[in-house]
Amino acid sequence: MTRDTQLNSEKWWQTGVIYQIYPLTFADANGDGVGDLQGIIKKLDYLNDGNPNSETSLGIDAIWLSPINRSPMVDNGYDVSDYYDISDTFGTLEDFEMLLAESHQRGIRVILDLVINHTSNRHSWFLESSSSRDNPKSDWYHWQDPEPDGGVPNNWLSYFGGTGWTFNEARKQYYYHTFNKNQPDLNWGNPEVKEAIFQMIRFWLDKGVDGFRLDASSVYSKDKYYRYNPVKFDANDNNKYNNLHHLYDKNLPENHHIIREIRKIIDRYQDRVLIGETFIDSTIYESVIFYGINNDELHLPFTFEFPFSPWYPGYLQQEIAKKELVTPSGAWASYFLDNHDIPRHLSRWVECSLCTNQLGIAQAAAAILLTVRGTPILYYGQELGMVDNQDIPPEKIQDKIVVRSETEDSPESRDGARTPMQWNDSVNAGFSFGKDIEPWLPVHKNYPEVNVAKELKDRDSIFNFYRQLIKVRKNSEALRLGSWKTLIHYPYEHLAYVRETTDEKVLIIINFSYEKDFEIDEYIARENWQVLVSNVLEAGKIIDLPSTLQPFEVSVLRKE
Ligand code: GLC
């Protein structure tokens, strides 16, 4: 029995497609230039109208919303000041309840981003904690005395640049923040903090949310002695955070106890999912720990193998093969190309001179993401072939904490990948109707060409390619659950792999270049393959396996 068939039943988060929405720039219903919950509700039919044969709907199964809680928006929502309420920017709790109901009606699950490593410095907990050394919440954050010379307590750094310690006058102490100084880290060693967070988690589960994406889920626990992190021998990363071995501020054993406790809460509710960002610099091996020794931590740890791969078949295959090898028995993988923290893949993968065909890259990337074994996560606009807006003038930058940290090691603004969804060719790309309103971030200038309305009408658009792939995946047990096996041992120009269950065999062939000669290393019957989806072959046609491929061909075939 193969590992796939051991799964006792198909879970929606294993077989479905998750779609990440960045609420600030997805759809603006009230015309103030900023996205909102009513805007998302209006666009639900575009995501999934509930009709499995719809020609106008993408057909995804779940939405993951980047944070919508009340927040001063210093890190655009990743700095929560009230976990129980919705930010005015996005609407009200009633709007959220409506979004939940409208989504569920269409069979769309709703996953919330849970930012619980830190709060905003404007959260009432931090205001109280920072007011004195002896208030009831004095131990809710990581407070340490200065060194005798007044210096910071240790060498821990902020991922956003500079020291991770900021001095507080009232307490005459430093507090620690993995990210910006406006995002103080909670002290998870304090049982009261835990209980407060767990209670809030139950609140949202009781409301009916289908799961959470745990933000920065590897850095909750800190060493109780605040020991120095050793510096790496080959320390030369531009982001100095990456030059430390994070022995004492990341991935501590206690961190896993916490995730296990959260998972226990989740498991008391039916059919919910626990996803976690194992953090941007974690390796695939590190992230495997996050499944838990008995698969009792995260259902889906997010790891960054595709985002960090070059656009090269050998490299991508190596990442898939690694993931196949290391995913524990009974556990399930997930894959993504893009998210709100990194440049979009069509902007990342432009350096390759022999693969300058952008549509070809978009189709090939879509096919890989939707045919490997694991849950695919799409980032809004990816299905249109949206690219980063690299022309945002400095005065319009919104990712200010990164830019304003004024240290030479701060990462670049992430705004390029967060610009408004391109709905049509009208003003503001149809994102915001306000005539004289400037959207929160400038719309990419390619919107008259790259937009939903136009792509819906074009049979060969990247949107329609995604739509077909999602549909084919939904109707194919092999693509949802089957084993994965490559047919080319060391791929150079092409990828060819098979997904297979007892009853079904699906072959995926991808040409990364103009190279037509196509050879596979493993035996596979050449006759009688049905085209499921292809950018060159007619869907439904029965063919024999070709010995040459079209440039940038992407074909998904089922054995008859
Ligand atoms: C995660 C989020 C990122 C945010 C950071 C701090 O990495 O994905 O957007 O800035 O956590 O919350």
* Interval 285-337: pLDDT, tens: 778 899 999 999 999 999 888 999 999 999 999 999 999 999 999 999 999 99
Q: Return the SS3 of 555.
A: strand
Separation CA 183–CA 198 (nearest Å) = 20
Is the pLDDT confidence value at 1 over 60?
Answer: no
Q: Which residue has the higher pLDDT, 410 or 195?
A: 195
Which residues partner with 161 through β-bridges? Answer: none
Q: How far is the CA of 67 from the centre of ligand 1 (A)?
A: 10
DSSP state of 128: H
Q: Which class for 293: exposed (0-12), middle (13-18), buried (19 or more C-beta within 10 A)?
A: exposed
282 confidence band (pLDDT: 50, 70, 90): low
How buried is residue 543: exposed, middle or buried, by Cβ count under 10 Å (0-12/13-18/19+)?
middle
Q: Residue 357 has which token pair?
A: 């065909």
463-490 average pLDDT score: 97
pLDDT given for residue 6 in this prediction:
41
**Alpha-carbon 384 to chain mean position:** 17
Out of 75, 219, 398, give the residue to mutate to test ligand 1, the one with the largest number of ligand atoms within 8 Å of its CB: 75
Q: Ligand 1: which of 78, 158, 220 to mutate, judged by most atoms within 8 Å of the beta carbon? A: 78
Beta-carbon-side half-sphere exposure of residue 520 (alpha carbons within 13 Å): 22
Residue closest to 399 by CA, chosen among 411, 386, 385: 411
Number of the ligand 1 atom closest to the C-alpha atom of 78: 12
pTM above 0.75, yes or no: yes
pLDDT value of position 238: 83
Q: What is the dihedral of CA 315, 320, 322, 327, to 10 degrees?
A: 160
Please list, in sequence order, all residues whose beta carbon lies within 8 angstroms of the beta carbon of residue 249, skipping any fewer than 6 positions away: 156, 164, 176, 178, 219, 222, 223, 229
Instruction: Answer whether 216 contacts ligand 1 (Cβ < 6 A).
Output: yes
Mean pLDDT for the chain overall: 94
- In terms of phi and psi (left: phi > 0; alpha: psi -120 to 50; beta: otherwise), the region of 124 is alpha
- How many helices (H) and strands (E) the chain has is answered by 16, 19
Q: Which atom of ligand 1 is nearest to the CA of 160?
A: 10
d(C-alpha 122, C-alpha 125), whole Å: 8
Q: Could you tell me the sign of the dihedral formed by the alpha carbons of 533, 535, 541, 543, in that order?
A: negative
Quote the percentage of the chain above a pLDDT of 70.
Answer: 95
Closest CA to 118 of 149, 72, 154: 72
* Active-site residue, 145 included: no
**Protein residue with its CA nearest to atom 4 in ligand 1:** 78
Cα 186 to ligand 1 centroid, rounded to whole Å: 15
The answer to whether 95 and 176 have CB atoms below 8 angstroms apart is no
Please identify which of the residues 36, 75, 185, 215 carries the catalytic annotation.
215
- Which one of the listed residues 113, 277, 388, 500 is annotated catalytic? 277
Please give the Cα distance from 223 to 128 (Å, whole number): 24
Chain-centroid distance, C-alpha 354 = 29
What tens digit of pLDDT does each residue of 84-108 get? 999 999 999 999 999 999 999 999 9
| Rounded-to-integer distance, Cα 162 and Cα 409, Å | 7
The tokens for 441 are: 């971030």
DSSP annotation of 25 = G
Q: Which domains does the chain have, with CATH numbers?
A: 12-118+191-221+253-403+459-473 (3.20.20.80), 482-559 (2.60.40.1180)
Is the pLDDT score of 435 beyond 90? no
Determine whether 215 is an active site residue. yes
Ligand 1, atom nearest to 340 Cα: 9
Q: Are 418 and 399 in contact (CB under 8 A)?
A: yes
What average pLDDT score do residues 171-182 get?
97
Q: What is each CA distance from 244 to 138, 407, 417, in whole angstroms?
A: 29, 17, 28
Give the model confidence (pLDDT) of 136-148 as tens digits.
999 999 999 999 9
CA 243 to centroid of ligand 1, rounded, Å: 19
The answer on pLDDT for 278 being more than 90 is no
The answer on pLDDT for 511 being more than 90 is: yes
Which pLDDT score is estimated for 352?
A: 59
